Each structure stands twice: as structure tokens, then as C-alpha cells.
Chain A
Amino acid sequence: MVRNTTRNFLVVMAVLALLIVPAMAQDEGTVVVEAGDPVVIGVAAVISGEGLAPLGEDIVRGVELALDERGTVTVGDVEFEVTIDVQDDLCSAEGGQAVANYYVSNPQIVGIVGPTCSSACRGAGPILDSAGYIMISASCTNPALAADFVSFNRTAPNDDAQGVEDAIFIYDYLGITKLATIHDGSPYGEGLVTNVAAAFEELGGEVVAQDAVTVGDTDFRSTLNTIAAAGPELIFFGGFPAEAARLAEQRADAGLSEVPFMGADGLYSPELINLGGAAVEGVYMSTPAPAVSDALSEFVAAYEEKYGFAPTAAFHSYSHDAVLMYLDAIEAVGEIDADGNLVIDRAALAEYIANYGAEEPVVGLSGLLSCNGDGECAQGGIGFFQVQDGEIVRLETMSMELE
């Protein structure tokens, strides 16, 4: 009996050893790309959903165009092709968790561009943090994300910047003193509206009504009716086109047809005009907007040539820059091992991205990039736009403080 037990014990140990050895061979903290294989970057973007797909698709197109420009990385004379793995983040916390789990289960993913929505970034954050992966979002603008997650970086300016700029625009440029705010309950919408309201009151304006709507609802007349009683001069909405189009349209049913409507980067999409038609005429919006440059004009021309239509949102230049950050980082920290494989240490990659352009800002398509260790890489400004005759037109407003 004793002998039998010993034998069983040895068998168990042997099996365990067999299981452990390959796990040790493939260290979790490194990406090993075999010679001839492509380097894979994950792209998490919202490519389905109510009025949201144009935002995510714009991000994916920015990535594709970046790879058209520079489709390979060269480490120590060896060239590796770069490919992407696009997943839908559904613009929700659950979707963010699902894509994060998908990517961390694949050791070949070097890093992630995205997700699109702050809710999805928030969902993905803890999972990527514990796996040592990093993300560079082109559009998650909720301010708290950078402090909450080590894995989080962004190339777009955050909503602290956007909220303050929006408040200045409303108060100084439009000359409005009574503001009503509505948000859609998303981290993005709520965070943005909170910032705008606080900055607006600081400037001396009065926030006369604050309310929220539910994503997916279509009848907001009673909300607007409540707001109308407070007599606002402008309604600021933190949210996305589907709800914005209905809110803008139903203003008339609550006697608010003369009250201007404004949103932020979530509304900057032709989808708003498709859904709202004449009702969104005159709607204002702000969005992280790079200073106009020749490089950007060429990029937009390339975009139009490749896809046959104008950009569907304002994020293409940010996702383009996010890809280039990854390519620079891989070339800087990647090493070729004895078998000719590319080895990328995740910690070194994260370190490189966190300090990207810290010493001297890098000129990107979206503006100057300089990460300074906190995940906030954007140094670009905010632009203001208005729907005029069914087109989104850039307004010539005050000088951008952040530029």
C-alpha cells in the first residue's frame, strides 16, 4: 500500500511538472513573435450599436490608414509585419470586460488601441491592469480613467480640458448665462456634464436645471418639459447621437425650439444629422480637434480616397497616433532572441509608452504627443462646430488655450 501511494504521488508530480514547464517557458510578461509571424495589435472599438458604430469605425479606419503608411516594425534589421485584431467593445462596461478578457487570453497581442467609450475603458481597465497589458484609447475622455488604471493611456484630450473649454465657449462666445444640462448616465456623459456645469458656474453663469435620460429611450418630452420650466438659454447634452437627435427634435414639443442645443465629441458624427434631420440644425458641438495642418489634410484626403466618404467622427487622427506610438515602442524595446524571434517585454513597453515624448514632445497627426507618465498623452486642443445646412462646420472661435 505504501509503495502504491508513493507511486501515485510521483505520477501526480510528473503530470504537474509537465503542465508547469511549458507555462514557464512562455513567460506572461513578454510577447514572443516568431520570425515570419506578424505583430498583432488589438483594436477595441464600438462597431455596432445605436448611432455609435460611426464613432468606432472612424477609429478603426484611422488605425488602418496608419498601417497603410507604416505597416512594419524593424527591430535589429529584422522586419515584422503589423496586423490588427478588431473587436467590438459595445460602448459598455460589459463589452469592455469582454474584449479585455479576449485580448489577455491571447499572448500575441502586444497592446490595444481603444476602447471607444469611457464605460468600456472602465470595464477593460482592471483586467488589463492585472494582466500587464496596456491600452491607448483614441476617445475615452472621462478624466478619472488615467488615474484609476495603470494600463490606460489616451491620445485625445480628456473632458477636464473639454468641459472647461465648453463652458468658456457657452459663456463667452455664445453669451449664455442660464444653462440646463442633461446626460445619458454613461461615465462619459455624466463626467462631461459635471465638468461643464462646474466650470460654467465658476465663470459666473447659472445652471438652472440638471437631468438625465436613459440610453435607448425615445420619448424625452417630459424631461424637456421639466427643464423648460426653469427657463434655460442653452441645453448641454453629454451623450451620443441617438438620444441627442430625439432631444433636439422634441425641444419643439416642450416650447424650447428657440433654445440652442449643444453636445461634445460624442455628437460629432454625420449620424446626428442622419437621425435628426432638420431638427439638429444649429446644434453646437465641441470635439478634440487637432490644429489644422498639411499632414492632417493629406491624411483626410487619403481617408476619403480609401473609403469613399468623409471621416465619420473626429477620432481618426487620435487612433492613427496611438498606432504609431505602439510601433515606436516596439522598435525601441523589442529584442531579437537567438532563434530570430521578436521578444517584447510588456513592462518595458508600458514604461516606454508612459514616457512617450516626455523629454521632447513628438509631433503627431493630432498635435503634440507627450505622456509624462500619467497616461495623458494629448497636448492638442478642442475645436467647436455647428450643424449648418446639414453639414458639420467648424466655427472660428477664440484661440485654443491648450494649443
Chain B
Amino acid sequence: MLKSIPIAGRLRFGNDPVQTFLYMAGGALLLFFAFIAVRNTLTGAYGIDDFLQGIVLGLAQGSIYALIALGYTLVYGVLMMINFAHSEVFMGGAYIGFFAINAFHESGFLAENTLVALLITMAIGMLASVILAVLLERIAYRPLRNAPRLVPLITAIGASITLQQIFLRLFGGGTRSYPVVSLCIGGTLQGTTCEGGIDIMQGRYQVEVFGGEIVIRPLYFVIFFIALILMAALWFFVQRTKVGKAMRAVAEDKNTAALMGVNVDRVIVLTFVLGALMAGAAAVLFALYNRQVSPFMGFTPGVKAFTAAVLGGIGNVPGAMAGGVLLGVIESAAPQMLGLPSQLEDVVAFGVLVLILIFRPTGIFGEVLAKKKA
């Protein structure tokens, strides 16, 4: 009689043949990956400098995923619904942000007051995302609040396509480029080079590490820290304020929360607003970083961010942050480490998701918004 043997926490071995098989297969895969990674490192095919470069790139991309992932996770936590139109909320922020920054660029305001112009652009992007998200909630989701769970899911997909097509018809299918912005800190800008200071937007520094050379841009850290500050603010808001408490109450039990005097509709709108604020900020950062916007740009980051949310445990705010950064780093560092063409980065990223879901079906941090995680 083989009883289930607890290995670590909720991990159990032996009571379910399918689960046992999955654990063994997952474990074998992990060992295999670890073996290849170690071999590639030892043979010199993969150096520490490559790894560091991957981490740095992944950090920037991952922070953006994390910000978007928060939108998925908040809405899921409160409504138990996957808001697939969130990727279009992101796209809308980037696209409207483009019009703002382009206007600043053409009027010369961007060159004169770069920091102010960037902050206004970001505010406009966030505002655009918020307006889209509030409209979305009001038109597409609220009428279906008490419908079976599959119904709002389908509406979300429909809303996503609708928003994409609206932007396509309004602004055309062409790709647009954000201007190249230089923000010189501690020096003066001479043409495109920053004399005596650091250009935190365009600066690139070759750094020698462990016999190799990697390229570091201050922008990577700017993105990372902005994301970190926004996430900390959100976390504080949800965990430490009265409105945040109402939000957690609604997430736990809508009806009881309503009986306790919480305005459920308002809290739900607020949830969408918070998610959209993060998405709008992520969108402008993304567009400043990758310099390209189009009506279809939301899809890939949206799917990645959703993955990040599941990875960290959907409905869980710190989980989304960790999941995003982790996914970004895995995506940029792992294919090269395993000696695969980076074409397969999505395969590796989603493979990791499968592995994590085998061992932790509810994601790394588990699946709760309601509980106070302090």
C-alpha cells in the first residue's frame, strides 16, 4: 500500500497515476534542461556574459509584462473572469500616447522639456487606457455580470477584436514609430550625444564582464524601477487603504460585501481602472523602448502577460509581478542557454509555464487576491 508521500508542502507523490506521470515527466525535462545548460556553459558555448545580457534584457521586457499582467490578475481576482480585451487596453494607451508624443516632437516641446513631455505622454497613455477599460466594463461586461462564466469570456474576445478593428479603421493598418528621445541627466545634449552625463533613454554602455562584453542601457533600469514603483503603489493601495480593503472584500464574496455597504459596481470599475493605469504606463514604456505601435501590437505582450499572471498565480498581485519578470528573463536568457535558436523563445516560455503548472497548478504564489498577503 503506497500512500501519498508529501514531498514539499502540497506536493504529493503516489496517489494519482496521471499526476505521478506528470511529475516524473516534468522532473525528467527539468533535469534534461539543466544538463544541457550546464554542458553549454562548460563547453564555453554559453558564457556568463551572455547570461548577464539575457538577464538585463529580460528584466526590462519582463517588467512591462508584469505591469500588464496586473490588469489580468486584478480583474480575475475580483470577477473570476479573464479580460482578454486587456491587450487592447494596452494597445490603446500606446497608440494614443503616440499622438501625444508625436505632437510634442513636431512642436519642439519634446526637445525643450523632455522630461515633462515624457511624463505628459505617459499620463495621456494611462488616461486613454483607463477610458477604454471603463467603457469596456460598462458596455461589454456589466450587462453580463450574472451570466454564466463562459459568456463574459466570449464577450471579452469579441471586445478585443472590436477594439483592434476600431483602431485599424480609425488610424489605418500602418505601423507608427515613436520619436527617438534623448534624456540627458547631469550633462548637456550636443546633437545626439550627451556630454558629461548619462542619456537615460538612448545611452548605451559597453561593459566588460567575465571576459565578455555586454551592452547596458540605462533605459532598462529606468523601466524596471518605474515598474517597481508603480507595482509597489498598487500593492500599497490594495493592501493598506480602505478602498483596497473593499476591493478584497468584493473579491472574496460580492454579495456579502454588498451587504456590508460596499458599492460593488464602483469597486469593479475601480479594478478595471487600476489595471488600465498599469497597462497604460506599460504601453508608453513599451513604445518608448521598442519604438513601434500598430493596432495589432497588443496581442503578443497580452498573451505573454496573461502567461505571467498564470505563472505567478492568477488573482495574486505580487505573483503577477514575479511572474512577469521571471517570464521576461526566461524568454531572453533560456533559448540561448539551451543552445536553441531564439525563434523558439515562445516555446521555452510556454514550456516553463507547463512545467510550473505541473508542480504548482495554481502558479508560484497561489491564486488569491482576497487574502491579505503582508
> Given that A213-B343, A217-B300 are contacting pairs, would A50 and B174 also be in contact in the complex, using a CB cutoff of 8 Å?
yes
Q: List residues of chain A with CB under 8 Å of any chain B CB.
A: 48-53, 210-214, 216-219, 221-223, 225-226, 229, 241-242, 245-246, 249, 252-255, 271, 274-278
Q: Which of A212, A216, A274 contacts B343 (CB 8 A)?
A: A212
**Complex contacts, A214 vs chain B, CB 8 Å:** 300, 346
Complex CA–CA separation, A245 to B290 (angstroms): 10
B73 within 8 A of A: no
List 11 A–B pairs whose Cβ atoms lie within 8 Å, in order of A's numbering. A48-B168, A48-B172, A53-B174, A213-B343, A216-B299, A221-B61, A222-B332, A225-B57, A226-B335, A241-B175, A253-B217
B215 within 8 A of A: yes
Minimal beta-carbon separation of A180 from chain B (angstroms) = 11
Complex CA–CA separation, A212 to B192 (angstroms): 32
Report yes or no: A218 in contact with B292, Cβ–Cβ below 8 A.
Answer: yes
Q: Which of B53, B61, B292, B296 contacts A225 (CB 8 A)?
A: B53
Q: Which of A50, A51, A222, A226 contacts B331 (CB 8 A)?
A: A222
B341 within 8 A of A: yes
Q: What is the chain B residue whose CB lies nearest that of A210? A: B341
Complex CA–CA separation, A170 to B213 (angstroms): 27
Report yes or no: B57 in contact with A221, Cβ–Cβ below 8 A.
Answer: yes
Q: List residues of chain B with CB under 8 Å of any chain A CB.
A: 50, 53-54, 57-58, 61, 168, 172-175, 177, 180, 192, 204, 206, 213-215, 217, 286, 289-292, 294, 296-297, 299-300, 331-333, 335-336, 341-343, 345-346
Minimal beta-carbon separation of A98 from chain B (angstroms) = 15
Complex CA–CA separation, A222 to B344 (angstroms): 11
Complex CA–CA separation, A254 to B175 (angstroms): 23
Minimal beta-carbon separation of A217 from chain B (angstroms) = 6
Q: Which of A212, A223, A246, A254 contacts B292 (CB 8 A)?
A: A246
Report yes or no: A49 in contact with B204, Cβ–Cβ below 8 A.
Answer: no
Complex CA–CA separation, A216 to B54 (angstroms): 21
Q: What is the chain A residue whose CB lies nearest that of B345? A: A222
Report yes or no: A219 in contact with B53, Cβ–Cβ below 8 A.
Answer: no
Complex CA–CA separation, A393 to B333 (angstroms): 38
**Complex contacts, B331 vs chain A, CB 8 Å:** 222
**Complex contacts, B173 vs chain A, CB 8 Å:** 48-50, 52-53
> Given that A216-B296, A219-B290, A274-B177 are contacting pairs, would A211 and B204 also be in contact in the complex, using a CB cutoff of 8 Å?
no
Complex CA–CA separation, A277 to B217 (angstroms): 20
A53-B173, A219-B289, A255-B213 given; 15 more Cβ-contact pairs under 8 Å: A48-B168, A50-B174, A50-B294, A210-B341, A211-B343, A212-B343, A218-B286, A219-B290, A221-B57, A225-B332, A229-B336, A245-B292, A252-B204, A253-B57, A255-B214
**Complex contacts, A276 vs chain B, CB 8 Å:** 177
Q: What is the chain A residue whose CB lies nearest that of B169? A: A48
**Complex contacts, A52 vs chain B, CB 8 Å:** 173
Report yes or no: B213 in contact with A221, Cβ–Cβ below 8 A.
Answer: no
Q: What is the chain B residue whose CB lies nearest that of A277? A: B180
**Complex contacts, A211 vs chain B, CB 8 Å:** 341-343
Q: What is the chain A residue whose CB lies nearest that of B290? A: A218
Complex CA–CA separation, A216 to B345 (angstroms): 15
> Given that A216-B300, A225-B50, A226-B341 are contacting pairs, would A245 and B215 also be in contact in the complex, using a CB cutoff of 8 Å?
no
Residue from A212, A221, A252 whose CB has the most chain B CB atoms within 10 Å: A221
Minimal beta-carbon separation of A287 from chain B (angstroms) = 20
